[in-house]
A and B are shown apart, each in its own frame.
Chain A
Amino acid sequence: MNHPEERVNALDIRGLRLHLPGAARPVLDGVDLTVAPGETVALVGESGSGKSLTSRSALGLLPPGATTGGSVLVDGEDVLTMGPDRLRALRTGRAAMVFQDPRAAVNPLRRIGDFLTEGVRRTGVLGKADADRRAAELLDAVGLGPELLRRYPGQLSGGMLQRVMIAGALMGDPVLLLADEPTTALDVTSQAEVIALLGQLRERFGTGLLFVTHDLGLAAAISDRVHVMYAGRIVESGPAEALFERPRHPYTAALLAATPRLDARPGRLAAIDGQPPDLRQDLTGCAFAARCPYATGLCHEEAPGPWPVACHHPLEGNPADD
C-alpha cells in the first residue's frame, strides 16, 4: 500500500474562485480542499452549491466563459494553467471521473471493450494487446467477466454498467478518482455494491477518491473527511462521524434534520425555509444568514471566516481540533 513518508496530495485545491459571465458573485468563492493518496473525501451539498463544479475543475472541465483564481493541483501540477495537450493527458492518465448516469456517459453503439481501451490507445500509453489485457484485468477487479468486452452498453444493467465505468476510470492508472453522485441512479442494494467496490479498489491501487454527493448519510458512511458546501463556499469540514453526530454549522444541522431518516420518528420533518441565494444577487455576509434561525446582524454584514466551521455562531459541540 502507501508509503508513510511525505507524498504529494492527489488533489490540492487552494483558494479556488470561479466567476461566470452574468453572475453577480463568484460561483465558487475560495474553496480549499485536499485529497491524499488512498484517502476518501466527500463533498456534500445541494443543487447549485458548487460541489460538481469543484470536482470538475480537477479535470479542467470548466463551463464556457468561466474565469478562475487560485490553484487546482492534481498530483502536484496546476490544472488551471494546462494547455489542451496536457489536459488530454491528464484526463486519460492521472485523474478520472465516474459520472452519475452511466448510460449518458457511454456511446451506446460501441462495444464495452472499445469504450475501455479508447483513451489509453489514442494517447499511445498502451498498444492494442496490452490495452485489451488491462481492460480484462480491470473488469475482473470490478467483478465482471471478460466476455463483457464484446457486449454493448444496452445489454448491461445500470449497476453493471456503472462498474464498467469504474473500470474505465481506472484504465489510465489514476492517482485521483472523482466520483460525482456515482450511485444516485442505482438501486440501494447496487449502491452498496458499487461503494464496496470503490473502497476495495482504493485500497488496492492507492487512489485518492473525491466523492461528490447530496446524501449526508452516504458521505458519513464512506469517507474519512467530509466537506459541506453551500452557495459556493465550504461551510464545514471535519471527520465524517463527528460532523454527522455533532454538526456545528447551522446549515449542516438543518440539512441533517431535513433528511427523512430511518431512525427518526414518523411525522413532520424540520424543513429549511426559503431557498439558497440567487446567483444574480451579490452576497454580503453569510450566505445562509437569510435561512438561519441563529442569524444576527453580524451574519448579514460580514462573511464568516473559513475552516473548520464558517459560522459566526457555531453550534455547541466538541472543539474541532482536527
Chain B
Amino acid sequence: MTEAVLQVTGLCRAFGSVRAVHEVSFSLPAGGSLGIVGESGSGKTTTARIVVGLEQADAGEVLVRGRARTGRARGRAERLARAREVQMVFQDPYLSLDPRTSVEAVLRETLRLHFPGTDHTTRIRELLDQVGLGTRAADALPRQLSGGQRQRVAIARALAVEPAVLVLDEAVAALDVSVQAQVLNLLADIRERTGVGYLFITHDLGVVRCVTDEVVVMRHGRIVEAGPTTEVLDAPRHAYTRLLLESVPRPGWDPDRIAAARRAL
C-alpha cells in the first residue's frame, strides 16, 4: 500500500458540552481521494478545518507527509510551510475571492507570498491553463466571471503552492448541474496529472461515488462507517448510511417511509 500523505488519528474537538468531533481517524494515500459524508452537525466541516489548521483539536494527531501539524504553528515560516502542505477550496466562490482583485493578481499574490523573488508569469499561465481558464480571464474581476469560472479560480489559487492535500468543502454544491460536471471532471484530470490528494467534504452521495476512492460516513461527531466508496455505497452496513442512501430522491421514492426511518434511528 502506498504511504499515507495525510494521517489523522483520534481527533477530538468539543465546543462547550457538544462533542463536535470524537475519536476520528482516517488516512489518505498519496494521490488518493477520500470523501467525508454527513449532514449538518456531523462534524465533517470541523474535521476539515482542523486538518487545514483553521481550528485546533483538543486531542489527536494530524500528520501530513509524516510531519505533525497539531498545535498552533509557531512563527510565519512554519505557518507558510503548513499552508503549502494543505490547501482548501470553499463552497462559495463569491465569498472566498476578493471582489476587487483580478484573477491574475489573486494568483500572483499567492505565489509572491510563498515563493518570493521569482518571476511568476509562466506559472500563472500554467495554472490558468490547468483549470481551463483562458488568458482572457486573467484580467477579469470575480464579478465578471460565472460561478463555475470563479470556482476554477479558487482551485487554481489552491494549486499554486503545489499542496500535498486539497481539502474541498462542498466545493461543487453551489454550482449548476452542468457546471458541476465540468468542475468534477476538471478535478479528476488535475488529480491524475499532479498526484495531489483530495479530502472531499460533501453531503451529496452521487458526488462521492463519482470522485472518491474511499469514504467515511460521520454522524454526531463520530465515524459510523468507513471503507472503499463502491463497497460502502453498494452494501452499506450501518443503518444511518442506509438512511442517507435511501434519502436520495429518485422515481418511485417514498419520502414517508424515509421520514419514519429517520425518526426510528
A257 to B, closest residue via Cβ: B181
Q: Please give the distance in Å from B146's CB to the nearest CB on chain A.
A: 7
Count of inter-chain pairs, beta carbons less than 8 A: 125
Given A199-B255, A240-B251, A266-B210, A189–B178 Cβ distance below 8 Å?
no
Q: Is the CB of B39 within 8 A of A189?
A: yes
Task: Name the A residues within 8 Å of B205 (CB-CB).
Answer: 188, 262
B residues 186-232 with Cβ under 8 Å of A? 188, 203-207, 209-211, 229-230
**CB atoms of B209 and A270 under 8 A apart:** no
Judge if B258 is at the interface, Cβ distance under 8 Å: yes
| Across-interface contacts of B102 in A (CB, < 8 A) | none
B247 in complex: contacting residue of A47, A191, A197, A258, CB < 8 Å: A191
Q: How far is the CA of A47 from the CA of B205 in the complex (A)?
A: 22
A188 to chain B, nearest CB (A): 4
Q: B230 touches which one: A188, A199, A266 (CB < 8 A)?
A: A266
A196 & B259 in contact (Cβ 8 Å cutoff): yes
Task: State the main secondary structure of chain A at its contact with B.
Answer: helix
Q: Which A residues lie within 8 Å of B233 (CB)?
A: 262
**Which chain B residues border A275 with CB–CB below 8 Å?**
146
Q: Is the CB of A269 within 8 A of B249?
A: no
Partner among B146, B188, B248 whose Cβ is within 8 Å of the Cβ of A217: B248
Task: Please measure, in the bound complex, the distance between the C-alpha atom of A254 and the C-alpha atom of B182, giving whole angstroms.
Answer: 12
A224 to chain B, nearest CB (A): 12
Chain A residues 64 to 123 lying within 8 A of chain B, measured CB to CB, are: none
Question: What sequence of 0s and 1s flags, for each residue 229-264 of chain B, a beta carbon within 8 Å of any chain A beta carbon?
Answer: 110010000000001110111111101101100100
Give, as a whole number of angstroms, the nearest-CB distance from B42 to chain A.
9
For chain B, give the interface size range.
35 or more
Instruction: Flag B129-155 by CB within 8 Å of A: 1 or 0 each.
Output: 000000000000000001100000000
A188 to B182, CA, bound (A): 24
B209 in complex: contacting residue of A217, A221, A262, CB < 8 Å: A262
Query: Closest approach, in angstroms, between the C-beta of A217 and any C-beta of chain B?
Result: 5
**Are A192 and B247 interface neighbours, CB within 8 A?**
yes
A220 within 8 A of B: yes
Residues of chain B contacted by A245 (CB below 8 angstroms):
251
Bound together, the chains give a CA A272 to CA B176 distance in angstroms of 11
B185 within 8 A of A: yes
Tell yes or no: A181 within 8 A of B by CB.
no
Contacting pair A255 B259 (CB below 8 A): no
What are 27 pairs between A and B in contact, CB < 8 Å? A46-B177, A187-B203, A188-B244, A188-B247, A191-B247, A192-B249, A196-B255, A197-B259, A199-B255, A199-B256, A214-B177, A215-B249, A220-B251, A221-B249, A221-B250, A221-B255, A222-B255, A245-B251, A254-B178, A255-B178, A260-B180, A260-B204, A260-B207, A264-B210, A267-B210, A271-B182, A273-B182
List the 3 shortest-distance A-B pairs measured between CB atoms, nearest first.
Answer: A260-B206, A196-B255, A271-B181
16 extra interchain contacts, Cβ-Cβ under 8 A, other than A266-B210, A267-B188, A271-B178?
A: A187-B39, A189-B243, A199-B255, A216-B177, A222-B255, A254-B178, A255-B177, A255-B178, A259-B206, A260-B184, A262-B233, A262-B248, A268-B185, A268-B188, A272-B182, A273-B182
